């Protein structure tokens, strides 16, 4: 199914009302449309069309800082991928994974009834806020646009939190709220970036899009984006830039580690390290790389590239 470009996002959001599919748990945007949105990605994809950034890249991404990722995206022309101002369960536990997106809107009872009736007739159970959880796979991050609602905007409590972690092994990013904070804290390894906590249950909201482009604050998020959530905020990395982000961050990290060590040793001045390195410093760096390559915590390919390039 192809969607004319002139209809834009508004038309895509209506697909949930008219899409005929055998398994609506999967998504509300067609596989073909997701491929169109993410055509820069040339790697493996999930059956639903989402880019499948390799697990190895996601593991390396955990060491990347928000500033490092932002720098790569900014240089590539992506200026609307970061959103700050979050509350989280665990300050020092990042979330990294592939975005599975959901869009919630204020309730409209006529549409909600039709959607619930159809969803239940096709095998979905319970309320709409549990449906995205059924689509989660290992490594996914459940990312929801809940229009910033806190009171009566609690998308999950500890029961659904346990289900999310069991399916994805990961956390959530909600432009909304959650409840049962104490219960969620008991899920070891689970974290959540949200707008607030509230004891109320979800009310007057309905799910209008699953695996569809969404807005999270000032950021545009597509299914399959790599989510990097740390204390500073959340950045959504287009899949085709994910490996470049980790590789460039690793190069910077190695150079900084060398520079910091030499500054502590008093071998060079801050002025020498902060400006273009002389041939003497470059030679020292190359030797340092060879001596420490097994302990630097970056792939051997990154070290080899630095050595081949003369570390410039």
Residue 123: predicted pLDDT? 84
Res 287 pLDDT > 90: yes
**CB atoms inside a 10 Å sphere around CB 220:** 15
Percent of the chain with pLDDT over 90: 79
Nearest to 18 by CA among 4, 6, 30: 30
Res 247 pLDDT > 80: yes
What's the mean pLDDT in 83-103? 97
Domain spans, the chain: 7-52+84-237, 243-308
Q: How far is CA 1 from the centre of its chain?
A: 27
Q: pLDDT by residue (tens digit) across 167-176?
A: 999 999 999 9
Percent of the chain with pLDDT over 70: 90
Confidence of residue 93 (pLDDT cuts 50, 70, 90): very high
Give this prediction's pTM.
Answer: 0.85
Confidence of residue 4 (pLDDT cuts 50, 70, 90): very low
CA distances from 267 to 256, 258, 259, 275, 281 (A): 15, 11, 10, 15, 10
Sign of the four-CA dihedral 185, 214, 145, 232: positive
CA distances from 248 to 8, 71, 198, 260 (A): 34, 10, 40, 18
- Please tell me which residue, 12 or 165, carries the higher pLDDT value: 165
Kindly tell me the number of DSSP H helices and DSSP E strands found in the chain. 12, 13
Residue 9: predicted pLDDT? 44
Contact 177, 154 (CB under 8 A): yes
Res 16 pLDDT > 70: no
Give CATH for domain 7-52+84-237.
3.50.30.40
Confidence of residue 21 (pLDDT cuts 50, 70, 90): very low
As a dihedral over the C-alpha atoms of residue 19, residue 22, residue 27, residue 32, rounded to 10 degrees, the angle is: -70
* Separation between Cα atoms, residue 131 and residue 134, nearest integer Å: 5
Contact 177, 196 (CB under 8 A): yes
User: 């008991």: which residue's tokens?
Assistant: 186
Residue 310: predicted pLDDT? 59
Residue 305: predicted pLDDT? 87
Q: How far is CA 70 from the centre of its chain?
A: 13
Confidence of residue 220 (pLDDT cuts 50, 70, 90): very high
Confidence of residue 143 (pLDDT cuts 50, 70, 90): very high
Q: pLDDT by residue (tens digit) across 129-139?
A: 999 999 999 99
């Amino acid at each position: 199914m192809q969607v004319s470009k002139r209809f834009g996002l508004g038309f895509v959001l209506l697909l949930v009302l008219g899409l005929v599919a055998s398994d609506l748990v999967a998504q509300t945007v067609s596989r073909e449309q997701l491929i169109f949105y993410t055509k820069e990605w040339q790697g493996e994809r999930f059956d639903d069309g989402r880019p499948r950034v390799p697990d190895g890249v996601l593991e390396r991404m955990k060491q990347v800082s928000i500033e490092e990722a932002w720098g790569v995206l900014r240089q590539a022309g992506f200026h609307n991928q970061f959103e700050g101002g979050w509350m989280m369960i665990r300050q020092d536990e990042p979330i990294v994974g592939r975005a599975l997106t959901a869009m919630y809107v204020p309730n409209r009872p006529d549409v909600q009834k039709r959607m619930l009736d159809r969803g239940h007739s096709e095998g979905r159970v319970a309320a709409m806020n549990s449906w995205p959880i059924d689509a989660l796979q290992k490594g996914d991050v459940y990312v929801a646009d809940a229009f910033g609602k806190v009171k009566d905007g609690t998308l999950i409590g500890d029961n659904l939190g346990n289900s999310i972690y069991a399916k994805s092994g990961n956390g959530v990013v909600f432009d909304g709220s959650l409840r049962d904070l104490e219960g969620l804290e008991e899920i070891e390894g689970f974290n959540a970036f949200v707008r607030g906590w509230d004891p109320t249950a979800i009310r007057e909201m309905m799910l209008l899009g699953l695996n569809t482009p969404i807005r999270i604050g000032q950021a545009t998020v597509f299914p399959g984006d790599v989510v990097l959530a740390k204390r500073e905020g959340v950045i959504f990395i287009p899949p085709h830039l994910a490996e470049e982000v980790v590789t460039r961050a690793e190069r910077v990290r190695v150079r900084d580690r060398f520079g910091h060590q030499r500054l502590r040793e008093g071998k060079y001045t801050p002025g020498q390290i902060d400006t273009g390195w002389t041939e003497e410093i470059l030679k020292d760096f190359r030797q340092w790389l060879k001596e420490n390559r097994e302990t630097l915590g970056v792939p051997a390919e990154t070290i080899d590239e630095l050595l081949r390039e003369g570390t410039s």
